Amino acid sequence: MDFELSAKDPASKARAGRITTGHGQIDTPIFMPVGTVGSVKGVNQRQLKKEIQAQIILGNTYHLYLRPGTGILEEAGGLHRFMGWDGPLLTDSGGYQVFSLAANRKLNEEGAMFQSHIDGSKHLFTPERVVDIQRSIGADIIMAFDECPPYPSEYAYARKSMELTHRWLTRCVQRMDETEPRYGHSQSLFPIIQGSTFKDLRTASSEFIASMECDGNAIGGLSVGEPEEMMYEMCALCCDHLPEEKPRYLMGVGTPWNILENIALGVDMFDCVMPTRNGRNGMLFTSEGVINIKNKRWESDFSPVDAGIDSEVSQYYTKAYLRHLFVANELLGMQIASIHNLSFYMHLVKKARERIVAGDYASWKAEMILVLKRRL
Amino acid sequence: MDFELSAKDPASKARAGRITTGHGQIDTPIFMPVGTVGSVKGVNQRQLKKEIQAQIILGNTYHLYLRPGTGILEEAGGLHRFMGWDGPLLTDSGGYQVFSLAANRKLNEEGAMFQSHIDGSKHLFTPERVVDIQRSIGADIIMAFDECPPYPSEYAYARKSMELTHRWLTRCVQRMDETEPRYGHSQSLFPIIQGSTFKDLRTASSEFIASMECDGNAIGGLSVGEPEEMMYEMCALCCDHLPEEKPRYLMGVGTPWNILENIALGVDMFDCVMPTRNGRNGMLFTSEGVINIKNKRWESDFSPVDAGIDSEVSQYYTKAYLRHLFVANELLGMQIASIHNLSFYMHLVKKARERIVAGDYASWKAEMILVLKRRL
């Protein structure tokens, strides 16, 4: 994996760059649509590539391990071939899902024991196992196994958890060194900073993670319920301790304005289920603000879903038609809203990159955020 | 509306033709995907046109009248513009839905009183009202208001019901004559033959319907639970009494083999929810037979969903991936299965037309049906 920085915004820490993987290039800052179980919900692969213009998508180790399982994925030749996606792919480690979805989880030095949320079957994830599973999945970017403490956490717990995450990271790095990619393309491991909302822990974690000299670095444990200002503070602190020449990935963030703020702090990569999950519930992010498309206000509004972005679906369908689809519980409503929201996120990071290159990101961002947050 | 017959199969009554409407041409025999509430379930308009290559789609007067309602449709400039479909459109009259979906329906000479299945509100459909609603929807082909008796029906009831349908037809024709299209394109009324499974009633109804000299004619009240052989017998009888120079539409039919059999009897147009409804449940019609894609048998079958048809989606995705999507309850599974099944139906009628033109439809049909009915 290669990362090249091409521009820096003079009035913020925003950067424009390009990641090169075995499955193609990614312009940063980038948003990564989430394809939890091998499918970006409601969206097909053609739509993902041609309409949304996704450059990299995300898969979830926990979900893919349970269904379809590594056996099928290996037989298929990895997730890229299984799902028919030939662009870059990142898998998270499953740490977050084990703690948020699985039942009866037990944590110890070795790893995490848990029961499947699907059938109650028992499983053990260790740092080594999680690397092995991600080798089977074949993602271009592999995440280290971590524990993500909830917000708020006690200092003592946050520290103990962070230290465990660091020890697990050392084991992940070792496992990566001992094993080979299965499908001929290289795989890069990204470690994850933890430390909850404690500055000294975040600093220590950032320094430890940076010292591992991986191809890229991630910031975890944010956007888990803390105030937005606290997220920005922690993110800024982490970015300032991370090497400039490596991509920085802020996990699970967030709203359009969260993304613009964190880009200004030096983040290069984002993922979030919000555009698809909220889309399925009729919440649209648009170039004029936030829309609840089920609202009666849109009943006879025959303007496009979003005329402000260059997306076929957003231009083609009207607000009145999309509202009708949601009111009538038509599947197509979820498809259109998901494609629109993802297209909008992609539009936003593309525009952000253009402004960074142009050198006026900070002022553009300040104006945009006012528009993006409007409730229409 | 214009209909031109271009070929007749020597060994059956199958015909190839072309209907010309204000929104383009339709090659017959044709299958019409059902877009009940202004959307073919799970499929967007680009997919409908480019991937499925639908030539005409269906809307439901009952559903569209309740949601979004004629006010919104008129404001939008008709259903074509409301939903973004610029091809030919047919709307059924709502008769069938009033009797299958609505509550507390009461029938008299005037029309049908019913309560909405959505909110219990009371409504009256009369032949005149149903023509007016379809004028507001703006379909290219409008269906007459009819009563569709269940199977089995008593002779006396079937006769009374048929006579009412005939009197309602006279009123529909009169209303058509008294009113104008709203959106500048012409609209054609198709009357509907009823008569349950009684030969003399079907004959009488066919003769009455033919005597109205409408642009096309429909056969209703079949595929409502009667044995397949009885459906074919009734359909054959109706076709033999209908004018050759007008298109014949068999309503609500059916499986791929039903369609091929009825084409052989002289039917030109079909509609059915089966490809989309069954698709959403994981049942696929393919060029090798019927597949339940949820079956474990397909777990690691990495062959295309259907290599035998020229459809992007059917060729691109594997059976193993589609099975995985269904097992994991991913929305994309329903999208792929619906697009595949509709593409398959379109493929089938296209091939049928080619065989009619080539003059060997009857023998091709006999072979195809054996393949289509196979359970894989």
Minimal C-alpha gap between B327 and chain A (Å): 8
The DSSP element (H or E) to which A250 belongs, if any, is strand A248-250
**How much is the ipTM here?**
0.97
pLDDT at position B318 over 90: yes
Annotated active-site residue A92? The verdict is yes
pLDDT confidence of residue B201? 98
Give the 3-state secondary structure of residue A24: strand
CB contact at 8 A, B133 and B74 = no
Minimal C-alpha gap between B317 and chain A (Å): 7
| Partners of residue B67 in chain A, C-beta under 8 Å | 324, 327-328
Q: What beta strand segments (E) does B127-238 contain?
A: 141-143, 188-190, 192-193, 217-219
**How many other CB atoms sit within 10 Å of the CB of residue A245?**
9
- Report DSSP state, residue A297: G
Which positions ≥6 away from B342 have C-beta within 8 Å?
B33, B40, B43, B48, B52, B54, B275, B276, B279
Cα(A152)–Cα(A168) distance, integer angstroms: 23
Cα(B46)–Cα(B44) distance, integer angstroms: 6
pLDDT confidence of residue A100? 86
CB contact at 8 A, B14 and B352 = yes
B84-107 tens-digit pLDDT:
999 999 999 998 898 888 888 999
pLDDT at position A102 over 90: no
CB contact at 8 A, B26 and B88 = yes
CB contact under 8 A, A320 and B41: no
pLDDT > 70 fraction of chain B, expressed in percent and rounded:
100
Cα(A112)–Cα(A132) distance, integer angstroms: 15
Annotated active-site residue A271? The verdict is yes
Q: Which of A70-74, A96-100, A206-210, A336-340 has the lowest mean pLDDT?
A: A96-100
CA-nearest residue of chain A to B83? A321
Q: Is A320 an interface residue toward B (CB < 8 Å)?
A: yes
| Partners of residue A325 in chain B, C-beta under 8 Å | 38-39
For residues B221-226, give the mean pLDDT: 96
**How many other CB atoms sit within 10 Å of the CB of residue A2?**
10
Cα(A62)–Cα(A58) distance, integer angstroms: 12
Cα(A17)–Cα(A5) distance, integer angstroms: 4
CB contact at 8 A, B34 and B7 = no
The DSSP element (H or E) to which A60 belongs, if any, is strand A57-60
Find how far residue A274's CA is from the centre of its chain. 10
Question: Residue A101's pLDDT band (boundaries 50, 70, 90)?
Answer: confident
**How many other CB atoms sit within 10 Å of the CB of residue B2?**
10
Count, residues in chain B: 376
Burial B195-223, CB ≥16 within 10 A → b, else e: bbbbeebbbbbbebbbebebbbbbbbbbb
pLDDT at position A169 over 90: yes
| Partners of residue B325 in chain A, C-beta under 8 Å | 38-39
| Active-site choice (A9, A140, A271, A306) | A271
A118-168 tens-digit pLDDT:
999 999 999 999 999 999 999 999 999 999 999 999 999 999 999 999 999
**How many other CB atoms sit within 10 Å of the CB of residue B156?**
8
pLDDT confidence of residue A104? 86
Cα(B142)–Cα(B267) distance, integer angstroms: 18
